[in-house]
Structure 1
Amino acid sequence: MKEIELKVLDMSSVLKPSDSFALVLEEVGGRERKLALIIGAMEAQGIRMAKMHYKPPRPFTHELMLSIMQAGRIWLEKGVIYEVKDGIYYTYLYVRRFDGELEIVDARTSDAIVLSLRAGFPLYVYEDLLEREQLRNISSNGLKYTVTINSVDMEMLKKAMEEAVASEDYERASLLRDEIRRREQEEKGEH
């Protein structure tokens, strides 16, 4: 599968009504497609500190991990976002061992982003995933856009459904209700 390089473009302030943030990644060169990940406050803080090249007085987890890898002569070659399901993005880290062997390790996408910013290795996404999940209907100022339903977690779906009912947008509410039911049935093992 073709890999498209990404860079961190922006991070929103707090999304209402939750304490989540929208992290926007942008395609490097090319068509400049954008991908939004919904992340928590702790993940947002780690990414902000890495973007600012902030060095904490004592090593945080990402700095500790990179120091251990350096001491063990292991380095990160790249990260690849390979899937999104029910609001969760999945990423592999490609790790080169001191003996030259390449290992592929599953990682939280937010951790892969922080490590990429700290260690300087590239972050990619499979092109078909980017094409399917890219932001749509981006306003001229870039502050408003549409994300796919697949990139939103259950909590946000439920809140969006409540808002749709409150604003009497019943068509949208029914679509959201159906997606919530589908995920709940899938979680229970029903198909």
Structure 2
Amino acid sequence: MKEIEMKMLDMSTVLRPSNSFALVLEEVGDEKRKLALIIGAAEAQSIKMGELNYNPPRPFTHDLMLNVIKAGGIQCMKGIIYEVRNGIYYSYLYIRRADGEVEVVDARTSDVIALSLRAGFPLYVYEDILEREQLRNISTDGSTYTLTVNSVDMDTLKKAMEEAVAAEDYERASQLRDEIRKREDEGKDNR
């Protein structure tokens, strides 16, 4: 699969009423497709610290992890977002061990981004995921856009369905209801 390099573009203010942030990644190159990830406050703080190149007086978790990696003779090579399912992005961290062997480690996407900002290794997404999940209907000033249903969690879907019913947008409400049922059925199958 073709890998598309991404960079951090922006992070929103808190989305109400939850304690979440929208992290926007942008394609490196001419197309500039964008991808939004919904992350928690702790993850947002760590990513922001990496973006600002902030050196805390004592190592935070990602700083500690990079110190251990370096001490072990390991090198972070790249991160790849390889899947999106039910609003959760899945990533691999590629590392080179001291003996030269390459290992692929499953990791939270927010951790891969936080490490990438600190260590300077590239972040990629498979092109089919970027094409399917990219932001759409972006306003000219970039302040509003449409997220794909797959990129949001169940609580957000349920809230959006309630809002659609209240606005009497029954077509949208039924689409959201179907997505909620599909995820609930998948959850039952995984038990």
Give your verdict on TM over 0.5: yes
Q: In structure 1, what residue type is equivalent to 2:148?
A: T
Structure 2 segments unaligned to the other structure (5+ residues): none
Pairing 1:116-127 to 2, within 5 Å after superposition: 116-127=116-127
1:82-132 Cα deviation digits (max 9, x unpaired): 000000000000010000000000000000000000000000000111011
Partner of 1:138: 138
Alignment-derived partner of residue 170 in structure 2:
170
Q: Residue 188 of structure 1 aligns to a residue in which SS?
A: helix
When the two structures are superposed, what TM-score results if normalisation uses the length of structure 1?
A: 0.97
Q: Deviations over 1:44-82 (max 9, x none)?
A: 111111111111111111011100111110010000000
Listed as ranges, the matches of 1:1-191 within 5 Å are 1-189=1-189
**C-alpha root-mean-square deviation of aligned residues, in Å?**
0.9
Distance 1:30 1:103 in 2: 31
In structure 2, C-alpha distance between the alignment counterparts of 1:132 and 1:182, rounded to whole Å: 18
Deviations 1:6-47 (A, max 9, x none): 000001111123221110000001200000001111111111
Query: What SS does the corresponding residue of 1:158 show, helix, strand or coil?
Result: helix
Unaligned runs of 5+ in 1: none
Distance, in Å, in 1 between the alignment partners of 2:63 and 2:154 is: 32
Moved over 3 A (4+): none
**Deviation of the 1:170 alpha carbon:** 1.2
Matched AA of 1:111:
D
Name the SS of the counterpart of 2:157 in structure 1. Answer: helix
Secondary structure at 1:147's aligned position in 2? Answer: coil
Percent same amino acid at aligned positions? 73
User: Structure 2 counterpart of 1:101, which letter?
Assistant: E
Which amino acid in the other structure matches residue 84 of structure 2?
V
Question: Which shifted more, 159-168 or 75-84?
Answer: 159-168
Number of equivalenced pairs: 190
